[in-house]
Structure 1
Amino acid sequence: MDPPVADPGPTKDEGVGSKGEMDLPVANPGPVRDEGQLLQCPYCDSEAMHKLAQFLLPGLAAVCVDGTTGDLFRSPSVVAVDLRQEMVDYITQRSETFIADTLIESEVEQNADNQMPDDPYEVISIFMDDFSRTKRNIIGHVSGWLLSDSREDKIDDFVQEMDMTRFWPLERREGIAEVLLKNVDIKTKFHCPEKYENEERLADHKAQCSFRPVTCPNDGCRAKVSVRCMQDHDAACLFKILQCEQNCEKRLLRRDMDRHCVTVCPMRPMKCPFGCDSSFPEHNLEEHCSESLQQHLLKVLQVIHKKGFTADQLNDRALELEKSEDRGKLAKARDARSLTNIVKDLEAKKTPPS
């Protein structure tokens, strides 16, 4: 299958060019004049915009796969350029009339809260599903195919293919997502609705707007998020330096935390190598071996002397070994095998030759 051609960016010509170029609805980063020359704040919720942008690629992949399933002459990569343009045009046009259509429908039904979605992701999902249905071929309309694992696998594979070829880069999708977000955010939860009559007042507002984008302060992170989202981003940022979760002295990036705690952290919990029920930080192994020596000796003696010794005799022998002058040597054993060998050597020396 030929890979889809990467999107080189916006062009001046309308429509789709021979190399897969397309005009995309890019959000205007500057103030917007409307309603009597009022200037609108351009900022929106960065997390919601990013979520929408991520949804667009698998949405396109699903449309391409469903539209070419069973087609001997076309593959998803062949139709991707045209369907991308059609899909963007369709969902953009739907989003532009969404608020007006919703309000009209509410007035007709005399219920302002009647099934009014306030999640932009949910709204755009509906638009995507509607567009997808118009592009499915006969096989694509079969319910068994729509629910099959094979379909999901093909969609996932095509998403990865488009990612690798940068057919539709994330930054391009974010430009579209910003436009869609502002168009369908009927309750203004995800974009700033403030408008001002002059540039000076708008500038004052933008300096303190909770939707204004800021760069993550964690070294190495390039993310730009809205001020209102910074706390949530910081709580999950992979580049934030944290104290080890297991309270060792190490400070490390959040992205390295799991590997550190499992592999090299001296405080990582371990089970007793002798089979007792204890659990403790690895750096306390020596202390545990010394404190629980009698218990470990008893387990070893039970293996060595499977028959011929009563429980009391084994306990007495374990106590005798623990109090012997060889206690230090026994306490240095770090696993059952080494302790068993030491005990066998000591018992061999103690047993008189026949």
Structure 2
Amino acid sequence: MELPSNNLDLGPRQIEQEKDEGPLLHCDFCDIEVVHKLAQMFMPALGCACVDNTTGDPFNTPGFVAVDLRKEMIEFVTQKSELFVAESIISEEVPDGEALEHPFDIICFFVDEFVNSKRNLLSQFSGWLLSDKREDKIDDFVQEMEKNGFWPLDRRETLAKDLLKNVDFKSSFHCGMSFKSAEDLANHVDACNFRSVVCQNDGCNDRFSAGQLKEHDSTCDFKIVPCEQKCTANILRRDMDRHCITVCPLKLVDCPFSAIGCRSTIGQSMIRKHCSDDVESHLLLILKGIHQQASDKDLQRRVEQIVQTSSKSKLAEAKDVRSFKSIVKDLEVKLGSLQVNAKEKTCAEVSKNEDSEDNRTG
């Protein structure tokens, strides 16, 4: 596929506005994200127009008509953009009955109009528009044009800027300021909200308009921010989730004794303190499992005996249920068999039997 040379002026004609005192100097800055997005859209649109226009034509190829259709597309969307404001004022009617406010949407609508107008009869009625083969052919042709530098990005961005200025009559996406002297313009350029800046966070190469710096900084993956869980670490925003669920000392975890009934959820770094502060409650849970027939009063007395026999620090050193239970059993051997109050035991057994009877009858 042979593509024609690129020696062609592709930019729309710019009309210089002059007043009696001389020409005004205009700030050329635009929202570069919108400009870049438009520039990226032009190439696939042209590829689509070229492919659909030559489908089934044995004498033409997409590459053969590319220069002419590129020129037509530029003239078409430029004319549409220049008339957009006037037509909007004269008539309240809008494309498809919906108001298009964002410049990108407006220009896309114009480009789609052009592309649709270039479909030949075979493209329109053969089912070609819905075929996978069509999409593949368009992608291949677009890649061929990019590889050969047929329509360089910088020239597409120049076109995008001119179109953006034409339809953005509220100056929301470009600077609409004009100056009488080059000095005034130079002073403005350094402070213009639409001047191009690069993110200063290490690892981020995003480029955007200066007015969007705060918004970008609030979401930039490469910005170093404090831990969301309030630990002392500062990490990359993109690593925050992984930090919070893995190494963060304040990551919430279940108590090591959750298997025997402790329902506490604590920060990872506070586990040792929790185990130390709650030794007696953990001890009571362990004893309930060992002495299932004992009453709560009997078990509480046993807790007091064990605590008096051994320091809390030794019990607090246990890292899990198994090691804790082993320590408790050794201490119980020293203390001897658990003395159960007969009356309390009887009450406990009666209560247990009643529960069992209820379960059977239920």
- Count of equivalent residues: 306
| 1:151-182: CA deviation from partner (whole Å, max 9, x where unpaired) | xxx99xx89x97xx999999667666544433
Q: Within 2, Cα distance between the matches of 1:311 and 1:80?
A: 89
Shift of 1:194: 1.7
Q: Where do residues 265-284 of structure 1 align in structure 2 (5 Å cutoff)?
A: 265-275=248-258, 276-284=262-270
SS of 2:193's equivalent?
coil
**Residue pair 2:224, 2:235 contacting (<8 A) in 1 also:** yes
What is the aligned partner in structure 2 of residue 12 from structure 1? 6
Shift of 1:212: 1.6
**Greater C-alpha radius of gyration:** 2
SS of 1:44's equivalent?
coil
What is the letter of the counterpart of residue 270 of structure 1? V
Shift of 1:183: 3.7
What is the letter of the counterpart of residue 261 of structure 1? C
Q: Which structure 2 segments of 5+ residues have no match?
A: 56-60, 338-362
| 1:298-323: CA deviation from partner (whole Å, max 9, x where unpaired) | 33333444x42334433443444344
Does residue 225 (structure 1) correspond to residue 208 (structure 2)? The answer is yes
CA distance change for structure 1 residues 204 and 314 in 2, over 3 Å: closer, same or farther? same
Q: Within 1, Cα distance between the matches of 2:78 and 2:289?
A: 75
Q: Which structure 1 segments of 5+ residues have no match?
A: 1-6, 15-22, 72-77
What is the aligned partner in structure 2 of residue 342 from structure 1? 327
| 1:240-283: CA deviation from partner (whole Å, max 9, x where unpaired) | 22222333332232223322222212222223222233232211
TM-score (norm 2): 0.64
Q: Within 2, Cα distance between the matches of 1:33 and 1:296?
A: 84
Q: Within 1, Cα distance between the matches of 2:311 and 2:68?
A: 82
CA distance change for structure 1 residues 281 and 254 in 2, over 3 Å: closer, same or farther? same
Q: Identity of counterpart residues, as a percentage?
A: 33
> Which residue of 286, 290, 294 corresponds with 2:276?
290
| 1:316-347: CA deviation from partner (whole Å, max 9, x where unpaired) | 43444344314222111233333233334433
> Which residue of 12, 17, 24 corresponds with 1:35?
17
Q: Within 2, Cα distance between the matches of 1:301 and 1:85?
A: 89
Q: Within 2, Cα distance between the matches of 1:296 and 1:87?
A: 78
> Which residue of 34, 43, 50 corresponds with 1:48?
34
What is the aligned partner in structure 2 of residue 212 from structure 1? 195
> Which residue of 103, 106, 126 corresponds with 1:123?
106
TM-score (norm 1): 0.65
| 1:66-92: CA deviation from partner (whole Å, max 9, x where unpaired) | 97xxx9xxxxxx989989996896477
What is the letter of the counterpart of residue 109 of structure 2? I
Q: Within 2, Cα distance between the matches of 1:82 and 1:258?
A: 51
RMSD, matched Cα: 4.8
CA distance change for structure 1 residues 167 and 205 in 2, over 3 Å: closer, same or farther? same
CA distance change for structure 1 residues 221 and 108 in 2, over 3 Å: closer, same or farther? closer
**Residue pair 1:321, 1:327 contacting (<8 A) in 2 also:** no
